[in-house]
Structure 1
Amino acid sequence: MKYVSFRDADGVAALARVEAGLAHRLVGLTAVDAAISPEALRDAEAEPVGVPVDDLRLLPVVSRPGKIFCVGLNYRAHVEESNRELPTYPVLFPKFASNLIAHGDAIVLPPESHKVDYEAELAVVIGRGGRRIARDDAFDHVLGYTICNDVTMRDFQYKTHQWTQGKAWDDATPLGPALVTPDEVDPGKLDITFRRNGVELQSSTTALMIFDVPELISTISTFTRLEPGDVILTGTPSGVGFRRDPQVFLTDGDVVEVEISGLGVLRNTVRAEA
């Protein structure tokens, strides 16, 4: 099943099940958050009358995640274009809830950065908490999958050997448009594409990830407990703007799209911060 988070006409956050392009509001569940579980999402009653998804004001599919883990250098071709050694342990860094925006929202270009880059990524949403999760049990902890554009301010990222200052800008990381439950897709066999103004700049498959979803869940949960609503961004394939010749960066007025098979298209405009 597919689910979307949205804000209704009264400004109240809500959660809906999507069927044939119509969003059926759930009764008793208003968000994907720390209180969610796969069973609660599956068994929630939905209103019989739906509204077109395209008419909704969507929100990021996860409401205020407690933890957002990002994975760097998780595709061999991206490692090669970055002139780095192949990692033997996942490269991890954080983002924060205030960084997230929804499908259809504007990615804000801050005046301080002049090298704002795109990164198409598969996102994993945790639905059942756990610590030291075994690889074989990892999928039992997944609520679903969605799409992310891991927007990166490259001139800030490389100020130090740590990446947070280039990755964690507010109002700059789209997450959505929908949450898709694990029975609908195989996260290891998904085509992933990025387009800027209709021009394809990234094209790959999640089958080429160095560390797959079970490995990431197992590795991260070794040192911290994963909780419902936490998000893992699984890394981007090759073709990022910073590594192109000539380089390609986001500019005011751009329309960017991340498409992942079975999950949909995450579309956002780009605007300079006023």
Structure 2
Amino acid sequence: MANRNFHVHLVSDSTGETVSSVARACLVQYEGVFVQEHVWSLVRTKGQMEKVMQAVERDRGPVLYTLVDPELRDCVRDHCRRLQLPCVGVLDQVMSVLAVHFHSKSEQWPGRQHQLDDGYFDRIDAMHYTLAHDDGQSTHDLDDADVVLVGPSRTSKTPTCVYLANRGVRAANIPLVPSVPPPPELEAATRPLVVGLITDPERLVQIRVNRLRLLQQDTETEYTDMEQVQREIQDARRLYARRQWATIDVTRRSIEETAAAILQMLNVRRERRLQAGEASTP
């Protein structure tokens, strides 16, 4: 049953991000199965849909879609029924449940989640801030951040910050360098949530060695010395405990999982502040 090859068609009237994310979250659960994904985005006319269905007939496989136009949805279903292929609207059940609960019919607006609203411009602003405050840059306005990530080199600070910025979070990061104290602006900052990142020393050495090899640099340095790296992690732990910063071990976490934990911390922090504000209101 191993090493089987399949085709899956992902059809969307928008960017295709939603249906692709759902498909990959499901497909990763199947080992020994190779799936070629065919992503068909911005499909908004019957002519475009006809071309998509010709490809489906050529490379037969299940069709997953996110389409709001009833005619296009019917077109997909009719073709798949004729071809005897499974066809799933990944948001259909959710939309049906919400429509019943809200006693309201949804608007037929393709790509509405990507509209240029205030949230979109908040994400752009967050991305600009994050890029300007990467790797300890521009610490003078660190107090304007929502989150500051602190950690030794190669603990995924930058990619996690970029992921958070894409969610509208202004994220800065400060590297911990041996024998160099963190910038005073970090200690003075009161607004942002400060999160310390740690990882397993062995894994960190491995990551650093691979990085140096990619750069064609010497891998036998203090930067990759096991004893030195162990001291870095111990010093980081002591710093986090002394400052009472939240700590996340990223050893077995993906960037998305680390970011999700930080977003949860932000939500808890926000709720506590709201409750404190309501409690102080006469």
Fold shared per TM-score above 0.5: no
- Normalising by structure 2, we get a TM-score of 0.22
- Normalising by structure 1, we get a TM-score of 0.23
Higher helix share: 2
